[in-house]
Amino acid sequence: NAGVTQTPKFRVLKTGQSMTLLCAQDMNHEYMYWYRQDPGMGLRLIHYSVGEGTTAKGEVPDGYNVSRLKKQNFLLGLESAAPSQTSVYFCASSLDNVSGNTIYFGEGSWLTVV
Amino acid sequence: DQQVKQNSPSLSVQEGRISILNCDYTNSMFDYFLWYKKYPAEGPTFLISISSIKDKNEDGRFTVFLNKSAKHLSLHIVPSQPGDSAVYFCAASVRAAGNKLTFGGGTRVLVKP
């Protein structure tokens, strides 16, 4: 009964380092999303995927890359981390693309860039 | 420019009383609205939603009201319980564009016993 799992949960990076956040879902969902949450800003969509092998840009895609090589996994990469990317990152997945109540979120990944 | 705004960052209410959370939006294309609840160190979870063809939706202690002309929605929780203490996010979407939600900044609710 895992749902949406994110790894790692916490990470501290130095400016310029790279890293990958992994999201895995076991619900056979087609749609997957990466959001970031910043104080007072709510959650903002970074990238999303409508199926295996597809990716698309969201509201704040700059500085991030994603890949969806397998249906159950959605990877978020930071090639050269910047302090502005300090945030809490949430992965989500959904069965369909028309009902927000089908979106399931992971527990979040706290990233600090120093 | 935030398309969805929650102007009250926090709200404190006595147990048993009504909690009213407000949300304003600017994009007239939004036709589906949701409220999510978030506890610390957890992801948001869906609470209640409303389509733009309705002006009210009720689910137990939670009721969402939509005023399209004012581009305003509100969430009523009655009676409020200590377990309702959490951050509540308002979100909106254009259904034809898929599940790409635009979130408000959140309102932290504290229900005092």
Q: What is the pLDDT of residues B23-50, one digit of tens each?
A: 999 999 999 999 999 999 899 999 999 9
| B100 contacts in chain A (CB < 8 Å) | 33, 45, 48, 58
Distance CA A96, CA A102 (A): 7
Query: What is the least distance, in Å, from the CA of B52 to any CA of chain A?
Result: 13
At B9, the pLDDT band (50, 70, 90 cuts) reads: very high
Q: Which of B93, B99, B100, B108 to mutate to test the interface with A (most CBs of A within 10 A)?
A: B99
Distance CA A103, CA B2 (A): 22
Query: What is the least distance, in Å, from the CA of B40 to any CA of chain A?
Result: 9
Under 8 Å between Cβ of B84 and B95: no
Query: Does position B58 have pLDDT exceeding 60, yes or no?
Result: yes
CB-neighbour burial class of residue B91 (10 A; exposed 0-12, middle 13-18, buried 19+): buried
| A99 contacts in chain B (CB < 8 Å) | 32, 49, 99
A63 touches chain B (CB under 8 A): no
**Does A108 contact B42 at a Cβ distance shorter than 8 Å?**
yes
Query: What is the model's pLDDT at position A59?
Result: 92
Distance CA B67, CA B3 (A): 16
Going residue by residue through chain A (114 aa), what tens digit of pLDDT does each one get?
569 999 999 999 999 999 999 999 999 999 999 999 998 788 999 999 999 999 999 999 999 999 999 999 999 999 999 999 999 999 999 987 766 667 899 999 999 999
Distance CA B18, CA B12 (A): 10
Degrees (nearest 5) of the Cα angle A85, B32, A1?
Answer: 65
Residue B83: helix, strand or coil by DSSP?
helix
**Does A105 contact B100 at a Cβ distance shorter than 8 Å?**
no
B41, closest residue in chain A (CA to CA): A107
Query: What is the least distance, in Å, from the CA of A54 to any CA of chain B?
Result: 15
Query: What is the model's pLDDT at position A66?
Result: 98
**Does A105 contact B45 at a Cβ distance shorter than 8 Å?**
yes
Judged by average pLDDT, the poorest of A95-104, B43-52, B58-67, B96-105 is: A95-104
Q: What is the mean pLDDT of residues B54-77?
A: 97
> pLDDT > 90: what percent of chain B?
89
Query: Does position B70 have pLDDT exceeding 90, yes or no?
Result: yes
Place of tokens 């009523």: B76
| A105 contacts in chain B (CB < 8 Å) | 43-45
A34, closest residue in chain B (CA to CA): B100
Query: What is the model's pLDDT at position A12?
Result: 97
Query: Does position B75 have pLDDT exceeding 70, yes or no?
Result: yes
Max CA separation in chain B (angstroms) = 43
A17 touches chain B (CB under 8 A): no
Query: What is the model's pLDDT at position B2?
Result: 82
Query: What is the model's pLDDT at position B4?
Result: 95
Distance CA B87, CA B39 (A): 6
Query: What is the model's pLDDT at position B72?
Result: 98
